[in-house]
Amino acid sequence: MNQLDKELLTMIQKDFPIVERPYKYIANELQLTEKEVINRIKNLKEEGIIRRLGGVFDSRKLGYYSTLCAIKVPKEDLDEVATIINKIPGVTHNYLRNHQYNMWFTLIGPSEEYIQETLEEIKRKSGIEDLMNLPSKNFFKVEVKFNLMEV
């Protein structure tokens, strides 16, 4: 990734232009051609740096519920439990972390009942009772944009 790619990424992470020719608009800002912008974005996708280009939605405003969960999984069962959890479409993130609650995942669903039922299902299928449901009570910040120029 060179300086120009970083500049491009910094710009299109948040201020992607909602206009008829967005890549041309970006090109004008960065003094590139429309084709160059399209090709650079294509490369950044192929390199796996850009996961997706599109809308990131506020699940609550769409009437969805979300939560963070932590589960205590015995080491020998990690693969099996990960498979059970990752198969659920509403599980968007899942990480192993250095704690006795070692598997942390986020779950999004259309209702609180869906969340409850899904967590019960995870407990039943994994045989693990020790699962914490940690829905947010207050949120103070959600911001995923980074200024890549500082990297």
Partner 1 sequence: MEITALDKKIIKALQEDLPLSEEPFREIANTLQIDEKELLNKIQYYIDEGIIRRFGAVIRHRKTGFTANAMVVWKADPDKTKEIGKKMAEFPEVSHCYERPVYPEWPYNLFTMVHGRSKQDCYEIAQRIGETVDIHEYSLLFSSEELKKTSMKYFMDEN
Q: Which is nearer to partner 1, 110 or 127 (CB)?
A: 110
Nearer to partner 1, 31 or 95 (CB): 95
Smallest distance, partner 1 to C-beta of residue 116, A: 15
For partner 1, the closer CB: 32 or 41: 41
List the one residue out of 94, 84, 90, 141 whose CA is nearest residue 112.
Answer: 90
Closer by beta carbon to partner 1, 58 or else 76: 58
Cα 60 from Cα 44, distance rounded (Å) = 30
| Alpha carbon distances (Å) from 37 to 81, 91, 145 | 42, 33, 20
Residue 103: CB minimum distance to partner 1, A: 8
CB of 136 to partner 1, least distance (A): 4
Which burial class, exposed, middle or buried, applies to 40 when counting CB atoms under 10 A from its CB (0-12, 13-18, 19+)? buried
Token reading at 69 = 């969960």
CA distance 24 to 37: 8
